[in-house]
Chains A and B, each alone.
Chain A
Amino acid sequence: MIITWKDKLTGTIPDVLAKEIDAFESQIALRKLGKIEEKVFAETRLRRGAYGQRYDNGHRHDGQKTQDLPYPSLTKGPDTMWDAPGMQRIKIPFGGLTPQQMIVLAELAEEYSDGICHVTTRQDFQLHFVHIEDTPSLFRRLAAAGITTREACGNSVRNVTACPLAGVCHTETFDVTPYAKACAYYLLGHPDTQDFGRKFKIAFSGCKQEACALVSMHDLGGIAAKRTIDGKEKRGFELYVGGGLGAVPHQAKLFDEFLPEEELLPMARAIGRVFARLGEKKNRNKARLKFVVQKLGIEEFKRVVLEEHRTMPDDPSWRKYFDEIPRYEEKPAFIGVPLNGLRKPEGFDEWAATNIYPQRQSGFVVATVTLPLGDATSDQMRQLADLTHRYAGDHARTTVEQNIVLRWVPHNKAVDLYRELKEIGLAQGGAGTIVDVTACPGTDTCKLGIASSRGLAGELRNRLAEKSVNLDDAIKHLRIKVSGCFNSCGQHHVADIGFYGNSRNINGYTVPHFQVMLGGKWEDNAGSYALAMGSVPSKKIPDLVNRLTDRYVGERQGEESFQAYCGRIGKKALKEIVDEFTPVPPHNIDPSFYSDWGDPREFTIGDMGVGECAGEVVSLAQFGFTAAETEAFEAQLLLDNGQFREADEKAYSAMLKGAHTLVQLQWLDAPTDPNTIVNEFRTRFVETKLFWDTYHANQFANYLFTRHEAPDTRYTQDTVHKLVEEANLFIDAAHKCHAKYQASLNVLKPATASAI
């Protein structure tokens, strides 16, 4: 018998996670058998971070024609072919990483992906070209290292981000790390965050004036604040809601000037409940929280949330997470020692000027490891894990600028760290400068990408790096950010110079372009958004960047910032600069304009697909029934394996899940203990004859009642086989009941409790 990761890691994975991964593995098997609706499976895998990639609608434009990729007809979700390898997103709350986790990520990239660990603009990791069959093993190995991919995508609470300098920053009010962590794990899988119409992003900053975690562009953001109340200093948060980028960027609105720390988790839950209830479910383009806030107005939104907070059922579980906060401590492994005139290798000073941040704690520094385009090889990641251990006492974090920082490095060790980083090709300087261009995946792998954001970012990076030594200080610290489309995953709205991909039709040819966005503000937690200035052909963008920066250096008044400069010279003047670069030569004169950076194929948007960022809108009931079916399937496997008692329990649990799903149609917060489920199910669905079959009367309901009240404890092959069959029949009947119930309400979509 072949050993599996499941066998090997048994006992090392938290029980809840182990069960979830087992369930997902069963769902893959069920989907392969065609027993789970593809839309439901799509959202199921998305909520575990498993995305489709660009080509996996089964078509790919090869530069000459669109090729049909001969995958089997089965899909793993709308327009997403089953066999096509996809992208796996891995959540890293607040970016916190241990060396052991870095090693596991390196191994997974090597064994299941293409050997590249990619850091995203929200402190996640992404692996590309991963086969879905490999995902359960991948999840188990991550779980054993304390990482989950749960809700890394889909309509859920995404990775909770935080300032990578939290805890060591000079200007922070207090360390937000434990709050970000508490929020991430409290809301992970929480029943009140499972029925969103769209994703929900949270960020925490330690101070207001720096960029930190870009609070203003998040659905929910907290900036650390302190107040003296009754003579006692109290921690809390300046709380913001309804921010977001995307096609229509919104600055977050102030929800509360000071939310006491103990209110953070309950208030986040209340906001989640309001979003689930009032957020748009049908039109995903209007489904983010920002649209709810906009529609209601911040005052009414606040009133609704506070009312929800007052009346929602008690959930004491938040205390478990909150009580951990005071215990959080990040201890240095070494003694902080200043440089003390240590001899420095060539290149160290230039690197240190941009990549070393002296910590608040004397003698320690944060060293930024610049990852070009957010990428590191598995080998580099393994060696970085070793350096993290030897120089930073195991303290590393990813950043939203797609780098990794090593914290608590004694300053005098930074010299040796630099030498070792150089040996593994990771000693590039320029962190946080104009050279450190960030980009989303764009057309490289994303179904929605229109132009090659990574291609452009790579080109800009190369050109700017070549002349970085001679760059004027005024432009050195500008930021360039590139998105492949208007959805803003590259955060172009908050860059000094931002770009997002689009295209133009020129004489019958499609030409890759980028919309130019100028004057966004990275500081002040993404304090203001950039203005669109027009589209420029992709191949002209580097020249445009030169022109803009030259003009800025030449015309700058005193210490004028780029935002202030843009504001002063005005949109008209900026537009004139941009317009100079818009002409596209005819194809026969210069065909290079008709392909994109890093991709020699003739440009096309023919292989774009339907985006998966938004996830699928699947009702709570559909999820509930899927969970019940999964358990029934697992019961069958246990039965086949001769584990009769376990199979009996699983089949019973499957029926309870089906019944609970129905009860939730009328009572969203229905408890999950078996007695309550059975009683409520009997009262609400059996006695009312909603759960009634013309030919079988109450037969299917009786399967549950019998197992609940008088279980057959013989646990033989026959008795358990009968129960497993009954569980399947019960779930079928529950589906029918649900449909009947929906019809009685005369609604098109499966009901959520909020709609009833």
Chain B
Amino acid sequence: METHKIIVKFFAETAPAIRGEQFVPIFHSWIQQQAIPDHLLIDVADYQHVTGGPGTVLVAHEANFSTDREDGKLGLMYARKQPATGDFFQRLHQAFRACLHGCARLESDTQLRFKTSEAIVRLNDRLLAPNNPETYSSIEPHLRKLVNQLYPNADTLLEHHPHPLRLFEVHIKSSAAPPLSTLLQRLD
């Protein structure tokens, strides 16, 4: 799989007591501190006024981080835009790591808590990764390897639903819900 445009989203636990606009100053403070390793943070775009949208977007040169609310489910979404180094597994690893890093940072800056037993992975590239069973077959071993690394000894499930218009997406579910710090350690 050649694409570098990997999206990872971790969902927030139950509706948090945080208003959407509160993410704006938080993301600005991340820029002030250049808080995400290996990312040049450059801007904040606020789309709270759009239903089911990306919420507040922290724009980095390499990727976007957004407090995504698609289908009404708040979460932190990481969307890689610029090429990352390594093979597909390494790129997948990098995207998970960056997303989890953002989640951990949000947990420390807000009351928000993330559900670690569930995540989605998308390939934001209709050319190289059409949403069909063939794409799933080609990435499934890499994804399985990463999921095993994140959730050793847990039951895990990968769900893929082909769709002609929507991006390729796999829903990951795990019987375990380790803390974010544990997930990050397992990626080290």
* A interface residues (Cβ-Cβ under 8 A, vs B): 2-5, 8, 53-55, 60, 62-64, 67, 69-71, 83-85, 103, 107, 110-112, 114-116, 128-129, 131, 137, 372-373, 375-377, 379-380, 382, 424-426, 444-445, 458, 461, 598-601
Question: Would you call A377 and B54 a contact (CB within 8 A)?
Answer: yes
Known: A8-B127, A55-B43, A83-B61. A110 touches B51 (CB 8 A): no
B28 contacts A600, C-beta separation under 8 Å: yes
> How near does chain B come to A720, taking the closest CB pair, in angstroms?
32
| A-side contacts of B66, CB under 8 Å | 114-115
Which residues from chain A contact B24 at a C-beta distance below 8 Å?
A: 598-600
In the complex, the answer to whether A54 meets B43 with C-beta atoms within 8 Å is: yes
In the bound complex, CA of A376 to CA of B165 (Å): 17
Partner of A2, one of B2, B47, B70: B2
B81: chain A residues at CB < 8 Å are 85, 112, 129, 131
Q: Which of A3, A53, A114, A379 has the most CB of B within 10 A?
A: A114
Chain B residue at minimum C-beta to C-beta distance from A54: B43
Closest to B32 in A: A62
* Chain A contact surface mostly: mixed
Query: B residues within 8 A CB of A458?
Result: 49
Q: A63-B28, A461-B49 are in contact. Are A114 and B42 (CB under 8 A)?
A: no
In contact, A379 and B52 (Cβ under 8 angstroms): yes
- Contact (Cβ within 8 A) B42 A55: yes
Q: Is there contact, CB below 8 Å, between B52 and A598?
A: no
Top 3 nearest A-B pairs by Cβ distance? Answer: A425-B51, A600-B25, A372-B49
Q: Chain A residue with minimal CB distance to B61? A: A83
B102 to chain A, nearest CB (A): 15
In contact, A129 and B45 (Cβ under 8 angstroms): yes
Report B-chain residues with C-beta under 8 Å of the C-beta of A376: 50
Least CB distance from B170 to A in Å reads 17
Contact between A372 and B25, CB atoms less than 8 A apart: no
Q: How far is the CA of A110 from the CA of B165 in the complex (A)?
A: 12
Q: B64, A114: Cβ atoms under 8 Å?
A: yes
Chain A neighbourhood of B139, CB < 8 A = none
By the criterion CB–CB under 8 Å, are A379 and B57 in contact?
A: no
CB proximity of A569 to chain B, nearest CB, Å: 34
A304 to chain B, nearest CB (A): 46
A131, A461, A601 — most chain B CB neighbours (10 Å): A601
Please tell me if B46 contacts chain A, counting CB pairs below 8 Å. yes
Given contacts A3-B127, A114-B59, contact A103 B53 (CB under 8 A): no
5 residue pairs of the A-B complex, CB under 8 angstroms, read: A111-B126, A116-B54, A131-B82, A444-B46, A600-B28
List of B residues within 8 angstroms of A111 by Cβ: 5, 124-126
B40 and A69 contacting across the interface, CB-CB below 8 Å: yes
If A84-B42, A111-B124 touch, whether A62 touches B28 (CB-CB below 8 Å) is yes
| Residues B42 and A377 in contact, CB atoms below 8 Å apart | no
Please give 7 more A-B residue pairs, beta carbons under 8 A apart, in addition to A129-B43, A372-B49, A377-B53: A3-B128, A62-B28, A71-B61, A111-B124, A375-B49, A424-B52, A600-B28
Within 8 A of A (CB), among B53-67: 53-54, 57, 59, 61, 64, 66
- B36 interfacial by beta-carbon distance below 8 Å: no
Chain B minimum-CB-distance residue to A386: B165
Given contacts A5-B127, A54-B43, contact A129 B50 (CB under 8 A): no
B31 at the interface (CB under 8 A from A): yes
B49 touches A373 (CB 8 A): yes
Query: B124 contacts A425, CB within 8 Å?
Result: no
Q: Is the CB of A60 within 8 A of B49?
A: no
How distant is the Cα of A131 from the Cα of B47 in the complex, in angstroms?
A: 20
**Chain B 10-53 interface 0/1 with A at a Cβ cutoff of 8 Å (1 = within):** 00000000000100110010011000000010110111011111
The reply on B167 being an interface residue by CB < 8 A is yes
Q: Could you tell me the distance between the alpha carbons of A63 and B28 in the complex, rounded to whole angstroms?
A: 8
Q: A599-B24, A601-B28 are in contact. Are A114 and B127 (CB under 8 A)?
A: no
Contact B45 A84 (CB under 8 A): no
Q: Which of A3, A67, A131 has the most CB of B within 10 A?
A: A67
Q: How far is the CB of B21 from chain A (nearest CB, A)?
A: 8
What separation, in Å, do the CA atoms of A40 and B104 have in the docked complex?
Answer: 45
A114, B128: Cβ atoms closer than 8 Å? no
Q: Output the least CB separation between B167 and chain A (Å).
A: 7
**Cβ of B49: which chain A residues have Cβ within 8 Å of it?**
372-373, 375, 458, 461
A375 & B5 in contact (Cβ 8 Å cutoff): no
Q: How far is the CA of A115 from the CA of B59 in the complex (A)?
A: 12
Given A2-B2, A54-B43, A110-B124; A375-B50 close (CB under 8 Å): yes
Provide the bound-state CA to CA distance between A742 and B45, in Å.
Answer: 47
Residue of B nearest to A129 (CB): B59
Q: Which residue of A lies closest to B82 (CB)?
A: A131
A148 to B50, CA, bound (A): 27
The 8 Å CB contact of A69, one of B42, B46, B50, is: B42
Chain B hits for A2, CB < 8 A:
2, 128
Determine the chain B residues whose CB is within 8 A of the CB of A53 once the complex forms: 43
Query: What is the bound-complex CA distance between A64 and B43, given in angstroms?
Result: 14
Q: What CA separation (Å) do A128 and B61 show in the bound complex? A: 13
Knowing A3-B127, A110-B167 are in contact, say whether A598-B61 is a contact too (CB < 8 A): no
